[in-house]
Structure 1
Amino acid sequence: MVVTIDWKPDKNTAVPLYVQIKEFIQSKIENGEWTVGTRIPSQRKLAEVFEVNRSTIVLAFDELMADGLLEGHSGKGTRVKNNVWSLLSSNEHAADWNSMINKGMQQPNLPTIQDIHQAEPRPDLIRLGTGEPSPELFPQEMMKDILHRLPSKIQSLGYVEEKGLLPLREQISIYLRSFGITASPSSILIVSGALQALQLVSIGLLKRGSAILLESPSYLHSLNLFQSAGVSLRGLPVHAAGFDLSSIKHSKKRNAASLLYTNPTFHNPTGYVMSLNDRKQLLNVCESEQLPIIEDDVYCELWLDAPPPPPIKALDQNGTVLYVGSLSKALSPGLRIGWVVGPEPVINRLADIKMQTDYGASSLSQWAAEEWLSSGRYHVHLEQMRAALRTRRDVAIKVLEEKFTGLAEWQKPAGGFYIWLRLPAGISLRELFDRALKEGILLNPGHLYDPKAIQHLRISYAYASLEQLVKGLERLAELIKNVMNNERVNKT
């Protein structure tokens, strides 16, 4: 278990810094927040977090070890050895929470993902990888108007229908027609964001030992939803011609796949768009192999140059595709409103599981989402959002052309949030990540989306302000050059 620290010593008091740090750590142990066995961050890390010299941390650790609260092991770091109450008690063993944590079914996030989540709240950071719209893009005035309208509609904020608020499902049904998807409200399930849709699929439709085919790289690799359910991920490379269809047939014939996951429109993290012909071929192959498809289409509305091809679901006449959409990317991730469209028996199954886990998405959020769609404000917002993202995309590309030519490779995305940046061979992404973080720049390394993508960064132009975007990219180019120079020196 890795701890999170949101405290700093007060440098304006007469109490020595090492004493403040010792008392802080001791209070965490005394209160049971840091239990026996908890790993304490390294001295170097704590010195950075507390903004003190490392010698100050050494003094605090020495006293805590002398008191019997901490112990250090070579190569294993420093851990909580006892708490105050266990030292005073004849009972030698406190509850072993850390053992239970390690045995839990849900696997922890990748270490780099944990580092990113811990760093994101820092207000000084330039977040060059964050996959959500900037606070600057939040439609505050329209949202205020939407919320003012709700009291006349809402009679209660109790639990809603099993599949979600019916008026919202009716509006989504209407909205999906603009993409060529015909779906009655009974074949739509409201979920708390697209992420929950994937979680419901992992525990509701697949058994342990199943396998999912997916693009490589893929957003799914940055999650542990399916792996925690005992489901393996099998990446298939995606190139200009789309999926390798022969690999799909081969995997299915070996009973090595239970379904196929695809993010065909403004793919996360590469920005790739599957052509209409490739979508048709993929659907035909999956139908012939009886291989269900999960189509993650959360970015489809965010086209910047021209509308993308219709969703695979729009071509589906046999119920092969489970279609996942969301308001998180275009409107607000905090609303936690997404949807799954599919055959009614599947939707009924997922709805039953959702009721067992959270008894439905927020009623207030569902009413707000219904008002956004029924009032037409969502269409207005989308036009504004596309214009803002187009400007950000173009600014990012301009900086890349000026500062990264000859240093990295990329493709100009036609929509979505991301640029898939390929760096020179041999560069250490871990060193680059750490150096950038020290300078206030937060990156998303490519290995989060494919263990083999050790030369890539996912650059997002959606979150940072325009000023931060330019400053962050320019500084990133300098950091890449510095890391490359250091590696050359180390080799000589």
Structure 2
Amino acid sequence: MDKLDWKPNRTSPLSLHIQIAQFIKDKIIHGEWPVGTKIPSQRKLADAFDVNRSTVVMALEELTADGFVEGNRGGGTTVAPYSWSQLTSNPPPDWTSYVRGGIQASNLNAVQEINEAEFRTDMIRLGTGELASDLLPGQQMRSILQSLSQKTIPLGYEEPKGNYMLRQQVAQYVKEYGITASPSSILIVSGALQALHLLSIGLLHRGSTVLLEKPSYLYSVPIFQSAGMRLTGLPMDEQGLQASLIPKYKKQFNGALLYTNPTFHNPTGIVMSPKRRDQLLEVCTAEGLPLIEDDVYRDLWIDTPPPQPLKAMNTTGSVLYVGSLSKTSSPGLRIGWVIGPEPVINRLADIKMQTDYESSALSQWAAAEWLSSGLYQEHIRFVREQLFLRRSIAMAALAKYVGTLGSWTTPSGGFYIWLRLPQAVQLHKLFETALREGIILNPGSLYAKDEQSFLRISYAYASLDDLDNGIARLASMIRRLL
């Protein structure tokens, strides 16, 4: 449920609990909260309305007495089915049953809580997988937009595969990493998530099994699951996904495709070694197993450039390559790409035309100008310097405050530190405690159910002061829970 952008009027002659009751009643009467809608918890309502919890309790008791809400045995309060008998003889559709019956799976509860909390200005975001606003190229992007304003830009739809100039620039950009791709084998998408969605519904049938690393970012977003696919995780070691296990897992689970994030892996930060990359391609070629290479963090190296992409090492066209500007430049630009064999790209382009017709034309023109102007490389150098500084602050804070309570390795790039905690620490309690105390964490269980002793710590978003302060407070919470 979205945040409540309303507060009771403390100068009103009506008592606070009466105003709150009326606000909720209006939500119900106007159909914004239909029958079965779960009302936010008393604590959340009290925080949102800036009142004591007892005031919320009085409001809910009045609404219950009037038949508008009811308590559930499993806890919580929902809009009562008989509330509409007081308003009309023709009850509305049971939207709750429609919502539950939707094909697309809901986000995990913890992910929903994180998504809501990230828009609160009083939170320290220790898990957020994006660059801080002061690391985004605001001034440079203004220059790009000013430059575009002097040109005649078509405002109609672009080609099904995306703006041709942008595809040319992407082809030139990935050539630096050894990838040979013509514009006809490139599809522009609205970020890497859309790329994965198109791949899930465009290439696989329901019931297919996708092999991937465990843990993996894909477990935290139900893209393949909502399309009726199953995810089967393969273990990792310090060199990345254990490629030698692929034949066994492919046979046992009838794997149809392998997804991998080999460079600055989300959430562990691991970089797959060159030797392991060779082995992975060799095994997948022998098994006839196509790959999706998610390479959105490649440019964010701090110490040394990472090994070549799998796509650059592959000569059979069995690797589908996903890239994006969201992690390096602007998540709001919503520009990414898929590179692959033309029949695959044609298929994905056709499906994309059925869903959103085309990514924003203005964003595509801006991205093309961004890549062609040389400003992108200038920006990336700045980001690497800042990530080096932020990583240093995070490493020092972990050593100072967490110490022997946890273990971690220093990432060589990307955003993430994979922090192992004592098994005695219950992650869900730590997550909820931190949320109450103004810190957003990403528990490892989001990335694999059995990763109950890990946190994904990001040093890319929180300010330098918040990184130090947040990790200090995190360490204090861990000690309290122990």
The CA distance in 2 between the partners of 1:44 and 1:420, in whole Å, is 31
Shift of the 154–419 alpha-carbon distance from structure 1 to 2, 3 Å rule, reads: farther
Displacement, 1:241?
A: 4.1
Residue type of the alignment partner of 1:287: T
Alignment check: 8 A CA contact 1:3 1:41 kept? no
Aligned to 1:280: 278
What CA distance in whole angstroms lies between the structure 2 residues aligned with 1:246 and 1:270? 20
Distance 1:167 1:436, change over 3 A: same
For structure 2, the residue ranges without an aligned partner over 5 or more in a row are none
In the other structure, the counterpart of 2:103 is 105
For 1:389 and 1:11, locate their aligned partners in 2 and report how far apart those are by CA, in whole Å: 46
Residue identity opposite 1:8 in structure 2: K
Q: Aligned equivalents of 2:222 and 2:38: distance in 1?
A: 22
Paired position in structure 2 for 1:117: 115
Please state if 1:196 is matched with 2:199.
Answer: no
CA distance 1:6–1:119, change in 2 (3 Å): farther
- Residue of structure 2 in register with 1:394 after alignment: 392
Distance 2:457 2:402 in 1: 13
Deviation, structure 1 residue 3: 5.7
Residues 89-122 of structure 1: per-residue CA shift (max 9 Å, x gap):
233x421110010000000000000001111110
1:380 to 378, 381, 403: 378
Deviation at 1:85, TM superposition (A): 5.1
Task: Give the count of matched residue pairs.
Answer: 482
Does residue 1:5 correspond to 2:4, yes or no?
A: yes
Deviation at 1:55, TM superposition (A): 1.8
Secondary structure, counterpart of 1:161 in structure 2:
coil
Q: 2: CA distance between counterparts of 1:328 and 1:336?
A: 6
- Residue 288 of structure 2: SS of its match in structure 1? coil
Cα offsets for 1:156-208 (capped at 9, x unmatched): 11100110000000011011110000000000000000000000011101101
Q: What's the counterpart of residue 17 of structure 2?
A: 18
Q: Is the 8 A contact 2:244 2:283 kept in 1?
A: no
Q: 1:450 aligns with which of 448, 451, 459?
A: 448
Counterpart in 2 of 1:54?
53
Q: Residue 239 of structure 2 contacts residue 270 of structure 2 at CA under 8 Å; is this kept in 1? A: no
**Any residues of structure 2 matched to 1:90-489 within 5 Å, and which?**
90-91=89-90, 93-254=91-252, 256-484=254-482
Matched with 1:33 is: 32
User: Contact 1:216 / 1:450 at 8 angstroms: preserved in 2?
Assistant: yes
Structure 1 runs (4+) greater than 6 angstroms displaced = none
Report the CA distance between 1:4 and its aligned residue: 4.1
How far 1:84 moved relative to its partner? 6.1
Give the % identical residues. Answer: 57
Could you tell me which residue of structure 1 aligns to residue 76 of structure 2? Answer: 77
Q: What is the Cα deviation at residue 405 of structure 1?
A: 1.0
Cα distance change, pair 403–185 in 1 and its aligned pair in 2 (3 A): same
Q: Distance in 2 between matches of 1:312 and 1:152?
A: 40
One-letter code of the match for 1:189? L
Post-superposition shift, 1:12?
4.4
- Counterpart for residue 490 of structure 1: none
Paired with 1:66 and 1:154, the residues of 2 have a C-alpha distance of 63
Asked whether the equivalents of residues 29 and 87 of structure 2 are also in contact (C-alpha less than 8 Å), the reply is no
Which residue type is aligned with residue 206 of structure 1?
A: L
| Cα offsets for 1:237-277 (capped at 9, x unmatched) | 10024333332112323461010000000000000000111
Q: Match for 2:192: what amino acid?
A: A
1:62, distance to aligned residue in structure 2 (A): 1.4
Q: Which residue is equivalent to 1:63?
A: 62
Do the aligned residues in 2 keep the contact of 1:188 with 1:342 (CA within 8 Å)? yes
Cα–Cα, structure 1 residues 365 and 80, in superposed 2: closer, same or farther, change >3 Å? same
Rounded Cα–Cα distance in structure 2 between residues aligned with 1:280 and 1:153 = 46
Shift of 1:402: 0.9
Give the Cα–Cα distance (whole angstroms) in 2 for the partners of residues 470 and 15 of structure 1. 45
Residues 475 and 47 of structure 1: CA distance in aligned 2, closer, same or farther (over 3 Å)? same
Task: Provide Cα deviations, 1:351-380, integer angstroms capped at 9, x if missing partner.
Answer: 000010001110000000000111111010
For 1:255 and 1:108, how far apart are their aligned partners in 2? 25
Kept in 2, the 8 Å contact 1:29–1:83? The answer is no
Distance 1:475 1:88 in 2: 50
Cα distance in 2 for residues equivalent to 1:88 and 1:149: 57
User: 2:374, 2:332 → 1: CA distance?
Assistant: 20
Distance 2:280 2:404 in 1: 36
2:397 & 2:239 partners in 1: Cα distance? 29
After superposition, the C-alpha distances for 1:199-224 in whole angstroms (9 at most, x for unaligned) are: 00111011011001100000000000
Contact 2:199/2:348 (<8 A) preserved: yes
Residue type at the aligned position of 1:358: D
Aligned residues of 1:210 and 1:232 also touching (Cα < 8 A): yes
Cα displacement (A) at 1:47: 2.5
Structure 2 distance, partners of 1:73, 1:327, is 45
Name the amino acid aligned to 2:424: G
**Does the 8 Å contact 2:186/2:337 carry over to 1?**
yes
Please say which of residues 37-46 and 134-143 is displaced more in the overlay.
37-46
Instruction: Give the aligned residue type for 1:271.
Output: G
Equivalent residues of 1:446, 1:453 under 8 A apart: yes
The one-letter code matched in structure 2 to 1:78 is: T
Does the 8 Å contact 2:128/2:458 carry over to 1? yes
Q: 1:83 to 1:33 in 2, by over 3 A?
A: farther
Deviation (angstroms), 1:82: 4.4
Structure 2: distance between partners of 1:187 and 1:357: 20
Superposition RMSD on alpha carbons, in Å?
Answer: 1.4
AA aligned opposite 1:96: D
Aligned equivalents of 1:37, 1:269: Cα separation in 2: 36
The alpha-carbon deviation at position 18 of structure 1 amounts to 0.6
